[in-house]
Amino acid sequence: MIGKICNIQPFSIHDGPGIRTVIFMKGCNLRCYWCHNPESQDSKTTIAYYPHKCIGCGECAKVCPNVKDGKAAFFTENCALCGKCADECFAEAIEAIGEELTVEKAVKTIAKDKEIFLRSGGGVTFSGGEPLLQADFVAEVMKGCKAEGIHTAVESAVCVPWENIEKVLPFCDHFICDLKSADSKKHKEATGAGNEKIIENLRKLAMTGKLKEIRTPVIPNFNDTKEDIIKIRDTVRSFVGEINYTLLPFHNMCESKYISQGRVFQAAGLEEPSKEKMEELNLLLK
Ligand code: SF4
Ligand code: SF4
């Protein structure tokens, strides 16, 4: 079985307990306008171009099957996303983001850091993108990791059929999920989907005892008022079990990623929430 991933990041300390290897899966069914990982949204390969690295050698155009006016076709409708230009560019000015990974290779790669996981209380985390859109692959890799005694986690918006969650449940120790708004209409405007399925899944997941953390990204003019956070907090508090609820401030450091992918960052003009603002909102969680 094969999964499509963006990349594998070792030694992460922000994606669950201890030191972790994070597998960023490709493809997401939401389109949050502030998304920090735009390369993970499309399930197909994403081409990124870094003009400051380009030396103008023209080698990319020589191998591009759809060359037009002497230029490689990336960022146009003619681009076949074949990645030949990225393979050819020795200046690394072009990157093809999207790699196919077998279950066996994934488990082997993760297990390399088994000692570090054991010593730090860490493990593997599947993030994205929406990892539960590739639930069969994630479940198989987690199964292999559990056989190696490795702790497993997933970061998900859980806007997926419950059946997808059920596939990974037997092999997943720790769920970290998002709840972006308690208001379904606002949620839909900002992400492309309402929140009903998400809240229903979170409620069911909480009953398994494996839902350890819910996070809300605090986005200016979307969910940054006290009323917004109180509504989300109260929804989280209506779930059973001990769930750590945290707020994550919006940041706009990802704008360069959008530019390199020929896209517009819709949240570019937004200011990051101040320290005082975050302190005020965090007080509501006490
Ligand atoms: S191959 Fe790379 S360095 Fe050469 S023109 Fe293309 S993008 Fe620029
Ligand atoms: S990904 Fe393939 S089709 Fe697209 S610009 Fe590169 S070589 Fe051309």
Choosing from 78, 97, 116, the residue where a domain stops is: 97
- The tally of CA atoms less than 13 A away on the side-chain side of residue 212 is 13
- Residue ending a domain, among 97, 112, 139, is 97
Q: State whether 189 and 205 are in the same domain.
A: yes
* Contact of 146 with 171, CB cutoff 8 Å: yes
* pTM assigned to the model: 0.94
pLDDT in tens, 87-96: 999 999 999 9
Q: Which atom of ligand 2 is nearest to the CA of 47?
A: 1
Same domain, 31 and 58: no
Whether residue 56 has its Cβ less than 6 Å from ligand 1: yes
CA of residue 92 to ligand 1 center, whole Å: 8
Which ligand is the nearest neighbour of the Cα of 53? 1
Q: Please, which pLDDT band fits residue 210 given cuts at 50, 70 and 90? A: very high
- CATH code of the domain containing 269: 3.20.20.70
Q: Based on the domain organization, do 90 and 201 belong to the same domain?
A: no
Q: Quick one: average pLDDT of 154-182?
A: 98
The pLDDT confidence band at residue 249, using thresholds 50, 70 and 90, is very high
How far is ligand 2, taken at its centre, from the CA of residue 50, in Å?
A: 15
218-227 confidence digits (pLDDT tens)? 999 999 999 9
Q: Both 90 and 134 in a single domain? A: no
Residues 79 and 30 in one domain: no
Is the confidence at residue 252, as pLDDT, over 90? no
- The preferred substitution site among 59, 82, 87, 89 for testing ligand 2, maximizing ligand atoms within 8 Å of CB, is 82
Longest dimension (CA), the chain: 61
Looking at the fold, whether 138 and 238 belong to one and the same domain comes out as yes
pLDDT of 107 strictly over 90: yes
Peptide bond just before 129 cis, omega within 30 deg: yes
Ligand 2: residues whose CB is within 6 Å?
47, 63-66, 72-74, 79-85
Residue 4 and residue 40 in contact, taking contact as beta carbons nearer than 8 Å: no
The per-residue DSSP string of the chain comes to -EEEEEEEEEEESSSSSSSEEEEEES--S---TT-S-GGGTSSS-EEEE-GGG-----HHHHH-TT-BTTB--TTSTT-----HHHHH-TT--EEEE-EEEEHHHHHHHHHTTHHHHHHHT-EEEEESS-GGGGHHHHHHHHHHHHHTT-EEEEEE---S-HHHHHHHGGG-SEEEEE---S-HHHHHHHHSS-SHHHHHHHHHHHHTT-EEEEEEEE-TTTT-SHHHHHHHHHHHHTSSS--EEEEEE---TTHHHHHHTT---TTTTPPPPPHHHHHHHHHTT-
Q: How far apart are CA 283 and CA 115, in angstroms?
A: 38
Residue 84 C-alpha to ligand 2 middle, in angstroms? 6
Clarify whether residues 135 and 10 are in a common domain: yes
Q: Do 204 and 93 share a structural domain?
A: no
Q: In this structure, what CATH number is given to the domain that contains residue 88?
A: 3.30.70
* Ligand 1 touching residue 161 (CB < 6 A): no
Buried b / exposed e over 229-263, threshold 16 CB at 10 Å, is bebbbebbeebeeebebebebbeeebeebbbbbee
Same-domain status, 59 and 189:
no
Check whether residue 76 and residue 186 sit in a common domain: no
Q: Are 108 and 76 found together in one domain? A: no
Please state, in angstroms and rounded to a whole number, the distance separating the CA atoms of residues 123 and 117: 5
**Nearest ligand 2 atom to alpha carbon 63:** 7
Domain housing 13: 2-43+98-283
Atom of ligand 2 nearest to the CA of 82: 2
Query: Separation of 88 CA from ligand 1 center, angstroms?
Result: 8
Q: Which residues of 110-141 are buried (b: 16+ CB within 10 A; e: fewer)?
A: bbebbebbeeeebbbbbbbbbbbbbbebbbbb
Same-domain pairing of 118 and 151: yes
Domains: count for the chain? 2
Average pLDDT of the residues in 168-191: 98
